[in-house]
Structure formats: C-alpha cells, structure tokens
C-alpha cells in the first residue's frame, strides 16, 4: 500500500481519537442480526441432563437455548446443570432439561440496534442473550464478544472505505492519460451565509488529501480558500464563486464576485485594514488579516478589482416635468482573486514523477 511519507502516523492518531465516537455511533447503526451467532446448538425439553453436559463439554459452550418444535421455551446453562448435580447427585443426570431450564427469557429482536443488547447486558449481568426473529422464533444468540467483533469489523470497513477512496482518487492522475489532465471543483458561495462559512474550504481540503496531496499543502490551500470564502460571504453583494483547478504540479484557485469591488487593493492588503461593519466584527471577523493570510499561504497571488462605477439612469415622467432616477452601479464591477500553489516534484499528485512515495508498507 502506498503511503504518504511524513504525517501518516499523525493522521492515524487523529483517526484513533475520532473512532471512539464512531464506535458509539455504530452501536446505534449496527443491527443485532449483523453481529449475532446464527449457528446455535440447541436442546429440547426432553434432552437428558447427561447429554447436555456432554454437548457443553464437546462444543465448549456454557449454555444453550431450549427449543420445542420451533418454539423457544427456555434456556439451560452450566449453572443449571450444577444445580441439578447438587440437588441429587448422579441420579439427576437422568433427569431432563425441562426440570432445570430457566423459562424467564431475556431476548432481543433481530432488528434491534446492538445498543439495545448492550443495555440488556448491563442491566441483567447475563453473558449471552437470545435473539428472536419477527415471528418470535430463535434466530441466534449474541454475546459481548460478538458485539466487540462486529464493531471492530465495522470500524475496519470504515477505514477501508476512506482508504479506498483515498487510494482510488490518489491514482486519478496516473490512470487518466492526456496531454494535460486537470480536475475542476466549483462552489457557489451565498452572501451572508455564515452558517455554511468554511464548508467549501473544508471540502477542498478533504479533496486534496484524498488526491494524495501533502497535508501541509492541503492546509495552506484550506486557509487561503477559507479567507477568500469568508470575504465573499462578508463583503460581496451577491456572494460569488470558487473554482479550483487541480493539476499534478499546480493548483490554481479563482475566486470571483460581481461587486462591490475594492477601491484600493494595496490599502486592502494592509494588515488591519477592514471595512467590515460592527455587527460582523462582533462575530470575530474584520481584523483586516484575511488577505494577509492568503498572501502568506499561496505561491502566487493576483487580485483584480473593478469598484463600482457610478451610473445614473434617467427616465422622464409625466410630460418631462419630473424624472425618475436610478443609481445602479455600472456593470462589470467585481473582484477576481487568483491564488496559485506550485507543487514540488516530491509532492506531485502524479506518483510516477514523485520520489520515494511508493515505498512499501
């Protein structure tokens, strides 16, 4: 399996922390029938105690459900056998299961979440629970071991899915042959949409990681796009668009809007310069540091802006005595930010040209 050279370990630690919560989530998602043991040894009410004892010893089990013509009628465990022996010694080995089985049954349904089974384990202190199907027939048994195994398998599948996504995506540029392959991601950002603020940047960051980008680079792109995204939300009248063009050796991000434009770009670039209104400053924006952060993160930055140019439209009303005036700004205004990131040979998204990336596990 190919892997990233540096921070794979870091990422594993990160993931490990996430899995604690993921396991809890899975306890609600996974159904009892997905983890239970189906192949259950059963006995009938007429089975002799001696035969149960032999079955337990041979199958290395400590309990079995008692089934009478498809119907679940009880459960017999090693404790019940001990009770039988203590009661009347060896003669009781000739007694039958119906004399010693427990008929108070603790069951879960096949369709219950395993969290239900876990709750019952905690409440009853039992070691195994009987699982019944929709018709009330025995479908299997479930132990804490089954649950642990089921959770671990599901978590493993989670990791594999993410790895598979990462693996597939990371071969994109090798698998598709063209003179120049690029991948374009587009996002529309709505004005004043603080709730989704940062969604585009985190999706872009995730996409880059899946494509096999160096985490440091993914983070730099994430920070730069975040600042540009928030500027669209805060400053642009109608929001705007983000377009990310990913090539093996470079990433070019265009952020465009249609106004109001920036009057003086050099002034806007000054650390601390901000026109953010007070209610937005209250949210912690408007430090006037966003463009600075972009500058620090990128390898090349190009800002073009056409501020609002005045336009007065006049239409005569009622016999030219009154005029209707409208002052919409002239079209063509807006800001376009182009941010470029250059990938060193060893960071290329195309693995052929990279050095030491394919190192085996």
Partner 1 sequence: MTLQEIIDRLNLTVLTEKKDFTAITPSGVYASDLLSCVMAGAHRRGLWITLQSHVNIVAVAALLDLSAVIITEGSTPEPDVIQKANREEVTLLLTPAPTYTVAGKLWELGLREG
Q: Give whichever of 112 and 227 is closer to Mg ion, judged by the CB atom.
A: 227
Residues in the interface with Mg ion (CB under 5 A) total 2
Give every CB contact of residue 320 below 8 A, 6+ residues apart in sequence: none
Minimum distance of partner 1 from residue 231's CB (angstroms): 10
Per CB under 5 A, contacts with Mg ion among 49-108 are none
Give the residue with the Cβ less far from Mg ion, 212 or 286: 286
CA dist 64 and 347 (Å) reads: 59
Of the pair 33, 257, the CB lying nearest ligand ATP is at 257
Identity of the residue, 100 or 285, whose beta carbon is nearer to partner 1 in the bound complex: 285
Of all residues in the shown chain, the one whose CB is closest to Mg ion is 290
Is residue 341 within 8 A of residue 250, CB to CB? The reply is yes
Q: Please give the full DSSP string across 61-82, using - where no structure is assigned.
A: -SEEEEEETTEEEEEEEHHHHH
Cβ-Cβ contacts under 8 Å for 288 (sequence gap 6 or more) = 270, 271, 272, 273, 274, 276
Strand order in the sheet with 128-132: 107-109, 128-132, 138-143
Q: What residues make contact with ligand ATP under the rule CB under 6 A?
A: 227, 231-232, 234-236, 257, 260-262, 268, 273-276, 285-291, 335
Q: How far is the CB of 235 from Mg ion (least distance, A)?
A: 7
Partner whose footprint covers residue 133, from ligand ATP, Mg ion, partner 1, none (CB < 5 to 8 Å by kind): none
d(CA 93, CA 301) in angstroms, rounded, equals 88
* CB closer to partner 1, 93 vs 199: 199
For the CB of residue 258, give the shortest distance to ligand ATP in the complex, in Å: 10
211-248 burial: b if 16+ Cβ within 10 Å, else e? bbbbbebbebbbbbbbbbbbbbbbbbeebbbbebebbb
218-237 residues near Mg ion, rule: CB under 5 A: 231
Q: Which residue is nearest to ligand ATP (CB)?
A: 290
* Min CB(297)–ligand ATP separation in Å: 13
Q: How far apart are CA 134 and CA 123, in angstroms?
A: 23
By the criterion CB under 5 A, which residues form the site for Mg ion? 231, 290
């Amino acid at each position: 399996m190919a892997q990233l050279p540096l921070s794979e370990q870091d990422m594993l630690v990160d993931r490990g922390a996430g899995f604690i919560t993921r396991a809890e989530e899975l306890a609600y998602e996974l159904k009892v029938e997905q983890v239970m043991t189906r192949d259950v040894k059963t006995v009938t009410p007429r089975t002799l105690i001696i035969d149960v004892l032999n079955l337990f010893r041979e199958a290395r089990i400590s309990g079995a459900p008692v089934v009478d013509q498809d119907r679940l009628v009880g459960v017999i465990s090693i404790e019940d056998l001990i009770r039988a022996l203590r009661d009347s010694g060896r003669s009781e080995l000739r007694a039958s299961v119906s004399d010693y089985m427990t008929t108070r049954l603790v069951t879960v349904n096949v369709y219950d979440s395993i969290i239900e089974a876990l709750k019952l384990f905690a409440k009853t202190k039992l070691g195994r629970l009987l699982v019944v199907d929709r018709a009330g027939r025995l479908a299997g048994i479930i132990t804490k071991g089954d649950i642990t195994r089921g959770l671990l398998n599901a978590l493993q599948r989670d990791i594999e899915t993410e790895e598979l996504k990462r693996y597939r995506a990371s071969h994109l540029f090798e698998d598709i042959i063209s003179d120049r392959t690029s991948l374009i991601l587009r996002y529309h950002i709505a004005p004043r949409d603080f709730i989704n603020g940062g969604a585009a940047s985190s999706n872009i960051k995730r996409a880059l990681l899946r494509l096999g980008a160096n985490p440091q680079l993914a983070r730099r792109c994430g920070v730069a796009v975040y600042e540009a995204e928030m500027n669209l939300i805060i400053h642009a009248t109608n929001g705007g668009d983000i377009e990310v063009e990913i090539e093996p050796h470079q990433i070019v991000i265009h952020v465009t809007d249609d106004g109001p434009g920036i009057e003086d770009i050099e002034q806007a670039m000054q650390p601390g310069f901000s026109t953010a209104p007070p209610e937005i400053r209250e949210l912690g924006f408007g430090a006037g540091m966003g463009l600075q952060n972009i500058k620090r993160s990128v390898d090349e930055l190009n800002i073009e802006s056409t501020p609002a140019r005045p336009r007065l439209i006049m239409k005569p009303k009622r016999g030219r005595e009154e005029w209707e005036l409208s002052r919409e700004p002239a079209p063509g205004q807006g800001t376009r930010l182009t941010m470029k990131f250059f990938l060193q040979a060893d960071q290329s998204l195309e693995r052929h040209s990279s050095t030491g990336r394919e190192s085996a596990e």
